[in-house]
Structure 1
Amino acid sequence: MINIRLLESELKKVTKSKLLSLLYFFYVILLIMIYRNTDGGITSHIILSPYASGLLLYCNLLGSMFLVIFSAILCQKEYQANLLFVYSTNLKRDTFLFLKQLVIFSFSLLFGLTALFLGMIFDAIINATALPWYKLIIQLSSVIFCLFLLGNLSFTLHLLTKNFIYSLSIPIFLVFMEPAIHRYSYKVFYIKFLVMFNIYGFLKKLFENLKDGSIIIVPENQAYNSFLASFFILLGYLIFMITIQFLFIRSEKFSSK
């Protein structure tokens, strides 16, 4: 039996990666560049969101991409070092799954809070056109939920395929191609309700304060499901993926490589 301290030291070796630190730094720089290239001379008659709100919505795109990259790299490193099997052998497998979910949530929270704090630093939140704090927190929570969902998708794909390319490319494809697929297939029930994640349908309602002339516009698209339908679709996907992870980790297939 490997003691917990040794296990923690091995985990730190994996997470303290220069590549992951560089990716996070690049993510912050991209958000700053987005802010710096935003037109500040927007006329007062247009409903304007605080910059934090706009950066949060950008975070759903950029954060999703970087979170998936983080997840894919970590899973690949763990698989190459046979750490997934070591961790699950020396910890209860239920505990192991909980810790993996905690790591995914922590990264999701990190990306979301980074976008929020950058918005707060660059622009005053409390002004005539700013969102109330509670609405901004709701927007932050919605983005973290979406990031957590995509992190779980990447982890699930890696467990099932042990393939770095699949766990990296499929989630990114779904995030960036979802609006186009919805637009050209909104009459096809299975694609509208079962294939796509409906992330934009979920965020569209929560980011209604982003209107024409604002930092970013939530695309108007009649193909999107309603807010409640999108939320329950996303929640259903999340429960399904965690169930798959739980069953796979407890099965005999989850063994050393």
Structure 2
Amino acid sequence: MNRDDPERIAAQPKLNQPDAAPPVVDRNAFDAALAEQVAREKEVTRHNDRVSAERRRLPMVEVENYTFEGPDGPVKLTDLFGERYLLLVQNVMFGPDWEQGCPSCTWAVDNLPANMGRITENGIAFALISQAPIEKLEAWREKNGWPHLWVSSHDTSYHYDWGWTRATDQGEEWQLPGYSYYLLKDGVPYLTYMMTARGTEAILPTAHIMDRTVYGRQQDWEDSPEGWPQYPTYG
């Protein structure tokens, strides 16, 4: 099903407008309050610039040229680059015994740019990797209408080597979502950066759009005024 399918849109719950709202002030008071907020956000922007500069100075580590399973057969990690030298991998939580992909990761894939050509034209290839067998991945990809290449690490140690699947002391396994950034240099794949947990929000535009509405994401972990609508994050 395509993400813009009318039936999918019609099935979404209708939201009631909350009663709570910010105080009403005159234009001068609003402009002054907004200016203070913009100043704070500029501090964040400048700090992000400094952090990004340090990110570009990180070292890199060689990665095994894993052989994944794709929809048409074996696919090596280096194959995921195609004709490009940079690769972004979204590590989607989908365990071998799961019947469907993680709802949060599914939402994150839906957040990807509608025109992925804006990424590839800058030399960045893109692919999804999960631990479930390829048949399950293909079924979930088709259900959600995704055009992206999705490969399975099911018969490799990839998920364990890089911490995307971890185990408790009792041997119970759990997974992490996130993104891996690779550079192909002289035919060898290198990991240059990876992020997980809330670090993934950096490339989720919907989250940032919601953050700037008056009610934010409406999730129960947020620091919001009394009476603001808040719901469990994964409710």
TM bracket (short chain) = under 0.3
- Is the helix fraction higher in 1 or 2? 1
Q: With a CA cutoff of 8 Å and minimum separation of 6, indicate the structure with the bigger relative contact order.
A: 1
Larger Rg: 2
State the TM-score, normalizing by the size of structure 1.
0.26
State the TM-score, normalizing by the size of structure 2.
0.28
